[in-house]
Amino acid sequence: MSGHSKWSKIKRKKGANDQKKGKMFSRISKEITIAVKEGGGTDPAFNSRLRLAISNGKGVNMPKDVIARAIKKGSEAGGAGYEALTYEGMAPGGIAIYVECLTDNINRTVANVRALFNKNGGNLGTSGSVAFMFDRKGVFEFPQGEWDVDELTMEVIDAGAEDVEADENVITITTDYTDFGNMMKKLEELKIETSSATLQMVAQQPMGVDASTAKQALRLVELIEEDDDVQDVFHNMDLTDEVMAMLEEG
């Protein structure tokens, strides 16, 4: 899990600047809009998908008026709808990349993603070319607070927890995707408010890399993430503490 958890930490740090916050707000706004259009109403009490999207928005300090506008957009009749797309490819060094998008213009999205791969030493592959290297997991993050990791693990293991980690006062719980709902209910019972609760693609066998390869691959990942149609990007790098230290040194 080290590559997955290290990249989550990197993204939390990078999310502090205004540009990254704007991107996160845009991504979550789309989730909220779709949740209203497809999930059955504007009341989060009766729309679990909307409740989750709003929770993720609050987790990144998304302003209430931005959330309200996204809900209103989803409730309006007509308008452009979003379509979910995935793309798979390889970054420099043979690193597997899995891209999730929400778009109202498929041609624009595929052209942009292909160009980013081609111009940055990667190759866009066909559907299924790297997906088999990942498992779909539920990933929950929240401040550690007063929780002891061992005590919390005992509380959540029956809800499907496969892994519980604490890093820099943030606890990450990983479950199989089929246990996502069970874990959400359990955390609500424990009165734990998540800062993020998402379904992610987690590498089955993280690939060891040196700092040079990691730097090139992460550059491609970041550029793809910056595209407005991209919701998330996953990779299979094992970002060890040693590699992370070298990256931070520049």
Structure tokens at 21: 């916050």
Q: Of all helices (H) and strands (E), which one includes residue 230?
A: strand 230-235
Q: What pLDDT is attached to residue 4?
A: 54
pLDDT of residue 221: 93
| Phi and psi angles of residue 236, each rounded to the nearest 5 degrees, phi first | -115, 25
Q: Which domains does the chain have, with CATH numbers?
A: 19-75 (1.10.10.200), 83-132+205-249 (3.30.70.980), 134-203 (3.30.70.980)
Pick from 107, 100, 98: nearest CA to 85:
100
Q: Would you state the pLDDT for residue 19? A: 64
Give the per-residue pLDDT at 7: 54
What average pLDDT values come out for the chain (250 residues) when binned by 10 residues?
54 58 85 84 84 86 90 76 91 95 93 96 94 95 90 94 89 93 91 89 92 91 92 90 76
Which pLDDT score is estimated for 18?
59
State the pTM of this model.
Answer: 0.85
Chain Cα centroid distance, residue 91: 19
Helix (H) or strand (E) holding 84: strand 83-91
Contacts of 82 by beta carbon, 8 Å cutoff, 6+ apart: 30, 33, 34, 102, 103, 104
